[in-house]
């Protein structure tokens, strides 16, 4: 998570105010912005050499995607995203993209010390050049003990396959269609003012969140939504990715349209609850509400955007 972003007093005071139990090893009056891993700045994680570990990485950064790269001492494969296992592990030599609010399960095996780092992604052409990507060392891995003399265990063989998710991509399915369009003020759009604060307008389908449910979906009915992030309110092209998050139900990625290269975030057919929407571009998803009725939410998972208004409530009904 990121510490010190936005208007703050100092990190120690903020930690006390939030009743945080995390030991962040902080001196008073630290006012710079930095990242913590499990509550520690410059975290060090000790692993037994050659042993396979599962990391579940959660990006809780307020506004910033991670693009993870392992050092030379470690190898890894990705086995799950947002709690849904892949049918087979995915090697990620180019790095692992994790938008805000999203999670990855990674099998990690190290034979030497390594530094895990987030770098600017090659997929900026997909995400948009105004999208924030963390660029710094995140944590250090200390490899304890000597590597085994036996060949290291194949990470693919350490992967346990789970039940296969259903596939909703059949073009003959009866689906209920809807457009979810991110609405953002552009360079020439007047700012919104509340009290003494002035900020960019953020909404969905032209409306800032006000707590009302905007539409209904029926239990058991397959939904097909196009998540659009193509133009700002002044007609200029969108330049910032907005990670889309759906509460309560996972969704399947059906298609994507973008002017940039395809992202490392997801593959067509993946089941997720949070994905990067390109800028400019759109993503088509399908999902089927099965178990729960009632009021729920969809929103951009950049915290400042959703809190400002880029969020919408809807009802699941029988």
CA neighbor of 41 nearest in space, from 143, 133, 138, 141? 138
> Which pLDDT does position 152 carry in this prediction?
58
> Which pLDDT does position 149 carry in this prediction?
57
> Which pLDDT does position 44 carry in this prediction?
94
Q: For 163-187, how does the pLDDT look when each residue is reduced to its tens digit (9 = 90+)?
A: 678 899 999 999 999 999 999 999 9
Mean pLDDT rounded to a whole number for the chain: 88
131 and 195 part of one domain: no
CA neighbor of 152 nearest in space, from 88, 86, 85, 107? 107
313 and 223 part of one domain: yes
Within-domain flag for 86: yes
Q: Which of 144, 168, 199 is the last residue of a domain?
A: 144
214 and 82 part of one domain: no
When mean pLDDT is compared across 20-34, 52-66, 100-114, the lowest value belongs to 20-34
Q: What is the domain extent for residue 285? A: 176-317
Question: The CATH number of the domain where 197 resides is what?
Answer: 2.60.40.420
The Cα–Cα gap between 125 and 153 comes to 36
How does residue 59 score in pLDDT terms, banded at 50, 70 and 90?
Answer: very high
Is the separation of the CB atoms in 61 and 37 below 8 Å?
no
15 and 137 part of one domain: yes
How far is C-alpha 244 from the geometric centre of its chain's CA atoms?
8
127 and 42 part of one domain: yes
Work out the average pLDDT over 287-304: 96
118 and 229 part of one domain: no
139 and 199 part of one domain: no
Q: For 216-262, how does the pLDDT look when each residue is reduced to its tens digit (9 = 90+)?
A: 999 999 999 999 999 999 999 999 999 999 999 999 999 999 987 76
Within-domain flag for 149: no
Work out the average pLDDT over 285-295: 96
Within-domain flag for 159: no
> Which pLDDT does position 146 carry in this prediction?
78
Within-domain flag for 209: yes
Q: 89: part of which helix (H) or strand (E)? A: strand 84-91
Within-domain flag for 7: yes
189 and 136 part of one domain: no
Residues 6+ apart with CB under 8 A from 103: 56, 57, 58, 59, 80, 81, 82, 83
């Amino acid at each position: 998570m990121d510490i010190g972003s936005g208007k703050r007093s100092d990190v120690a005071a903020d930690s006390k105010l939030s009743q945080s139990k995390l030991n962040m090893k902080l001196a008073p009056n630290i006012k710079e912005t930095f990242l913590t891993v499990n509550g520690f700045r410059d975290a060090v994680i000790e692993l037994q050499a050659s042993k396979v570990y599962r990391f579940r990485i959660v990006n809780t950064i307020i506004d910033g995607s991670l693009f993870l790269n392992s050092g030379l001492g470690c190898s890894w494969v990705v086995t799950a995203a947002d709690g849904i296992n892949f049918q087979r592990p995915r090697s990620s030599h180019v790095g692992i993209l994790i938008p805000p609010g999203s999670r990855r399960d990674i099998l990690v095996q190290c034979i030497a010390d390594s530094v895990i780092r987030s770098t600017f992604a090659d997929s900026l052409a997909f995400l948009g050049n105004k999208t924030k990507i963390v660029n710094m060392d995140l944590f250090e891995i200390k490899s304890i003990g000597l590597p085994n003399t036996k060949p290291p265990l194949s990470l693919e063989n350490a992967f346990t396959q789970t039940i296969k998710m259903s596939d909703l991509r059949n073009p003959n399915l009866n689906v209920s269609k809807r457009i979810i369009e991110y609405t953002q003020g552009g360079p020439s759009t007047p700012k919104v003012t509340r009290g003494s604060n002035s900020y960019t307008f953020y909404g969905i389908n032209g409306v800032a969140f006000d707590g009302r449910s905007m539409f209904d979906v029926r239990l058991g009915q397959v939904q097909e939504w196009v998540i659009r992030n193509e133009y700002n309110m002044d007609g200029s092209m969108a330049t910032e990715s907005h990670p889309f998050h759906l509460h309560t139900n996972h969704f399947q990625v059906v298609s994507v349209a973008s002017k940039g290269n395809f992202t490392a975030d997801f593959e067509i057919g993946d089941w997720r609850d949070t994905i990067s929407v390109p800028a400019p571009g759109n993503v088509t998803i399908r999902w089927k509400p099965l178990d729960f009725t009632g009021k729920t939410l969809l929103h951009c998972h950049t915290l400042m955007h959703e809190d400002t208004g880029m969020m919408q409530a809807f009802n699941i009904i029988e």
